[in-house]
Amino acid sequence: MIKKILVANRGEIAVRIVRACSEMGIKSVAIYTDADRHALHVKKADEAYHLGSEPVTGYLNAHNIVNIAVTSGCDALHPGYGFLSENPELAEICARRDIKFIGPDADVIRQMGDKIQARNAMIAAGIPCVPGSDGNLEDVEEARVLAHKIGYPVMLKATNGGGGRGIRRCDNEKELLGNYERVISEASKAFGKPEVFLEKCVINPKHIEVQILADSQGNTIHLFERDCSIQRRNQKLIEIAPSPQISPEQRAYIGELGVKAARAVGYENAGTVEFLLDQDDNFYFMEMNTRVQVEHTVTETITGIDIVQEQIRIADGLPLQYKQEDVGFRGYAIEFRINAEDPKNNFLPSFGKITRYYAPGGPGVRIDAAMYSGYVIPPYFDSMCAKLTVWALTWDGVVERGRRALSDMQVYGVKTTIQYYQEILQHPDFKGADFNTGFVEAHPELIEYVTRIPPELRAAAISAAIAAHEGI
């Protein structure tokens, strides 16, 4: 039985994993670099080990992290998302050192981490894929010929990409020729691998993904879908479960397709199969994420299943606690990624001290945060500082609850995306559950509205609130 877990991550997901451990009676071990000396995951874990002064690279040193797991007496390691979570070598090192890796097999991570290999495996399994390359592009001439064959617009994509980076839409040959070297350079910089491929661009698609759980005994189930169509630059901002935009028949179809995809690659543990839904109601496989996802909270909220605890049980060799027919869902959940960014300034990251933070509460509200009053957001990492997840029985109810909870949530000292999300919630297309991945780009006015309150008044209101607080 797993008794002690090394949490190979930081921020809100590290806190999330520590919470799961705590509820299961499992000890947790945190790791941190100098920049995270005062981070919440360090405070909450049972033990914490210092990785050195360099802010980021410590979290990427698989050998050292597994060493800490061994010497601190851990029997398992949870990789979270980002960092080493999709690095097959971490899973291999864990296996060699007799540490249970809480995730799928290294070979499956490797295969699904390569979007070409993933596509080919899905095509072989009869899962519909967007028309595109069957291998990496050799040169720009191959790209030109293939794009001509499948028709513009096309997407140039980093084969090993993630986090929405290394993806460019090309509307014509000129753009393709212009973007080719750019995507290669982005891919090399961000992922250390220059390989790129090409896919037909689906016009105004919805991003619909299926949460999978699969145990070591061959049981594979889905926990329904999430709608992650509200994105900016291919990065998710708001995620919803279930999708308010698909029918029960589509829900049943896509759930089964997700399970089929996972089975086709012998998937074990929690994973997500991402699909695009086009304007003619066709679903296409896009990629598989072999880890817990940022937006797992919305699925937990509607199904009542603790995905992180299930991950740990699966890694421990235990069978799933649920059969497909036992899994139901109730109402709607929306997650808002609260980023420390300035929407008015091209979403520029806004790091620094959170002078005051008031968490929202009340019915149907969940917060997964890495911040607290007085916390200084370090400039070296992702700008997401909290996730707000709200739940209600109906779509209209959850939109209202989101509005109320976002207004409850007060963050002073840094700029955040909170007010921008309020604007999205007020838009008739969002309220009417009719949006696609083009929504953010199609509505630049929502970013303008963020400062509907004149900045002087806003600053005065904030000072007054702080003064009032300090007067207490």
Q: Is position 227 an interface residue for ligand ADP (rule: CB under 6 A)?
A: no
Number of residues that bind ligand ADP (CB under 6 A): 30
For residue 107, give the amino acid letter.
D
**Which tokens belong to 339?**
């980023």
For residue 14, the minimal CB distance to ligand ADP (Å) is 13
**Which tokens belong to 224?**
């329904």
Q: Is position 55 an interface residue for ligand ADP (rule: CB under 6 A)?
A: no
User: Which one, 309 or 437, has the nearer CB to ligand ADP?
Assistant: 437
**Which tokens belong to 307?**
């995905």
Stretch that binds ligand ADP, among 137-145, 232-240, 385-393, 403-411 (CB under 6 A): 232-240
For residue 289, the minimal CB distance to ligand ADP (Å) is 5
Q: Hey, what's the torsion of the CAs at 386, 391, 396, 397, to 10 degrees?
A: -110
User: Which one, 278 or 400, has the nearer CB to ligand ADP?
Assistant: 278
Stretch that binds ligand ADP, among 70-78, 228-236, 340-348, 403-411 (CB under 6 A): 228-236
DSSP three-state, residue 151: coil
**In the range 230-289, which residues lie near Mg ion by CB under 5 A?**
274
DSSP three-state, residue 361: coil
Q: Which does 234 bind (CB under 5 to 8 A by kind): ligand ADP, Mg ion, none?
A: ligand ADP
User: Which one, 67 or 120, has the nearer CB to Mg ion?
Assistant: 120
The residues facing 410 across adjacent strands are: 358
Residue with tokens 């299943």: 305
For residue 416, the minimal CB distance to Mg ion (Å) is 24
Q: Which of 16, 119, 207, 401 binds ligand ADP (CB under 6 A)?
A: 207
Distance between first and last Cα of the chain: 50
Number of residues that bind Mg ion (CB under 5 A): 1
Q: Of 16, 232, 251, 291, which residue is the catalytic one?
A: 291
Q: Give the full edge-to-edge strand order of the sheet including 76-78.
A: 47-50, 27-32, 4-7, 76-78, 100-101
**Contact residues for 292 (Cβ-Cβ < 8 A; gap 6+):** 13, 80, 81, 85, 270, 307, 308, 311
Other C-beta atoms lying within 10 Å of the C-beta of residue 78 = 30
Q: Is position 231 an interface residue for ligand ADP (rule: CB under 6 A)?
A: yes
**In the range 420-439, which residues lie near ligand ADP by CB under 6 A?**
437
**In the range 275-294, which residues lie near ligand ADP by CB under 6 A?**
276, 286-287, 289, 293-294
Q: Residue 83 has what DSSP assignment?
A: T
- Tell me the C-alpha distance between 13 and 18, whole Å: 9
User: Which one, 7 or 294, has the nearer CB to ligand ADP?
Assistant: 294
Residue with tokens 């696609």: 436
Q: What is the chain's Cα-based Rg?
A: 22
The 84-103 contact track toward ligand ADP, x by CB under 6 A, reads: --x-----------------
> Which residue of the chain is nearest ligand ADP when measured via CB?
162
- Tell me the C-alpha distance between 221 and 198, whole Å: 31
User: Which one, 152 or 412, has the nearer CB to ligand ADP?
Assistant: 152
- Tell me the C-alpha distance between 403 and 115, whole Å: 37
Q: Which of 295, 310, 341, 368 binds ligand ADP (CB under 6 A)?
A: 295
251 is catalytic: no
DSSP three-state, residue 199: strand
Give the residues lining the site for ligand ADP (CB under 6 A): 81-82, 86, 130, 155, 161-164, 167, 191, 199, 201-202, 205, 207, 231, 234-236, 274, 276, 286-287, 289, 293-295, 382, 437
Give the residues lining the site for Mg ion (CB under 5 A): 274
Q: Which residues are catalytic?
A: 291
